[in-house]
Amino acid sequence: MSFTTAGSESSAEHGSAEGAAHPRLRGLRCVRCGERSSLRSDTEGCRRCRADGVPAALLAEHELSGTDGGLLAERWSRRRDGMWAYRELLPVPGERAVTLREGATPLVALPAPAGGELPEVLVKDERRNPTGSFKDRFYSAAVSWAAWQGARTVALASSGNAAVSAAAYSAAAGLDCVAVATPDIGEVWRGLVELHGGRMVYAADAAERWDVLRREADERGWSVLTNTSAVPVSSLWAGVEGYKTLAYELVEELGAAPDAVSFPVSRGDGFAGMWAGFRELFELGLIGALPRMIAAERYPSLTTALREDLELPPEQPVDPASLASSIGNPQATVMSLRVLRESGGTAVACSEEELRAATRTLARSGLAAERSSAASLAAVERLCRSGELSRRDRVVQVLTSHAAHQPSTLR
C-alpha cells in the first residue's frame, strides 16, 4: 500500500517525481515558546524557557511550503532503503547516512479476544530493527549527524537499549562511543555495548548520570546525544528526527493515519518524533486527520500534569523493584505533554501487574516484549475498559524492544 492524497492530481500532470520541490531544514524551534534557533549540537533545550524554570526541547522545523506532497510520497514509495527512504525529511544527506537498514518494520495484527471489548490492535514491531529496539531510528540519525559534524566520540546516558544502539551505530561510523549507566544495568545490555566496542562509565544512581555525562563530555570534547539535565528536556534533535519515520511508515502502509497510537513514554523522544512525523504528513496533504496520541507511562507524571493542568510534568516516586526500567524516568517532559495536548491524547500510568499481563498477552500471540514495551498494550486495554477507545477504533501500539534484552522479563 502507498500514501494517498485526497483530491490531488496525478504525478503525470506535474511531471517527474524527481522534480518535486525539496523540503528545507529551517532550524530548531522551542516546543513551548516557539522561539527559533539555528542548528545546535547540545541538548540543553530552549535557553529562554530554562530561565523561566520550564526546560523545553528544541526540535527541527522544516520548510514544507512549495513541496508537492504527492510527488514526494511517490518518490518515497519507490525506494527500499528502510528509514532512509524518507531522506528528504531527515537531518543529513542520504549519502552521509550511517545505516544498518533500520526501519521498514512490519505491522502485526494482535487479534481481539473473542467476545471482549478490545479492538483489533495493530502492533508496530520495532523489535525487528538491527539491535532489537526502536532506538535504532534515533541512533542512525543522531550518529549520522555527529559524524557529519566531525565528531570522534559520541556519549550518552542510558538504561540499556540506547547504549546498545549507540554502540552499534558508532561502530558502523568508525566513532568511539561512551555510555553512562548505573552499575545495575542488565548484563545483556552491558555485554552488547562492549561487544560493539563501546565503553561503559558508571554513575552512582540514575540521577547522577546527567552530571557525569555533562562533566566528562565538557572535559573530553565528546558529542552528547542524550538529555543531560536533571529536569528532562530531550535528546539530540537530530536523533528525534529519525523517529518521524514511524509515522511515515504507518501511513504508507495503512493509507491513512490510525485513530490512535499508543507509545511507551519515559522522556518521550520517540513519542514526540512520531507526532512530528504525523504533523508533517498533514501539512503535506498526505493525511486528512491526525491521530490521538496515548502516552503509556510507568509513573503518573504526564497523567498528573494533564489532570492538574500543569505546565511542567512533576517528578514522581519510583518503584526500585520495577522491571519497567526503559520507561523508569520519574519525570516526563514538556515535549511529551505538548504532544498530548496538541493531539487531544491522554496518558495512562501502568502498574507492574498490568505490564506483566500485557507482556503475557503479547507473548501468547508470538511477540516477546521487554516489560516496558508492553506498556503500550496495557494502556490500550485500560482505555478500552473505560470506554475511551472502542472496537471501532483503529489503534496502533508501538512495540519498542525485544524481551531477549531483558532476561528478567522471562521469569
Last residue of a domain, one of 202, 224, 246: 224
What pLDDT sits at residue 205? 87
Q: Which one-letter amino acid corresponds to residue 330?
A: P
Do 374 and 363 form a contact (C-beta atoms < 8 A)?
Answer: no
- The reply to whether 23 falls in a domain is no
Co-location of 252 and 378 in the same domain: yes
Phi and psi based region of residue 175 (left: phi greater than 0; alpha: psi -120 to 50; beta: remaining): beta
**Host domain of residue 154:** 135-224
- How far is residue 363's CA from residue 386's CA, in Å, rounded to a whole number? 24
- The reply to whether 259 falls in a domain is yes
Last residue of a domain, one of 224, 254, 275: 224
Co-location of 192 and 242 in the same domain: no
Phi first, then psi: give them for residue 403, nearest 5 degrees: -65, -25
What pLDDT sits at residue 11? 36
Co-location of 201 and 309 in the same domain: no
Co-location of 205 and 354 in the same domain: no
Co-location of 181 and 278 in the same domain: no
- From residue 324, alpha-carbon distances to 93, 160, 299 in Å are 36, 11, 10
Q: Which one-letter amino acid corresponds to residue 64?
A: L
Per-residue model confidence as pLDDT tens digits over 179-233: 999 998 889 999 999 999 999 999 988 888 889 999 999 999 999 999 998 899 9
Per-residue model confidence as pLDDT tens digits over 351-398: 999 999 999 999 999 999 999 999 999 999 999 999 999 888 999 999
What pLDDT sits at residue 1? 60
Co-location of 215 and 301 in the same domain: no
- The reply to whether 386 falls in a domain is yes
- The reply to whether 382 falls in a domain is yes
pLDDT < 50 stretches in the chain: 6-20
Cell of 147: 559524524
Comparing CA positions, the residue from 282, 291, 290, 297 lying closest to residue 261 is 291
> Domain of 352: which CATH number?
3.40.50.1100
- How far is residue 181's CA from residue 184's CA, in Å, rounded to a whole number? 8
| Structural domain total, the chain | 2
Last residue of a domain, one of 172, 196, 224: 224
Co-location of 168 and 117 in the same domain: no
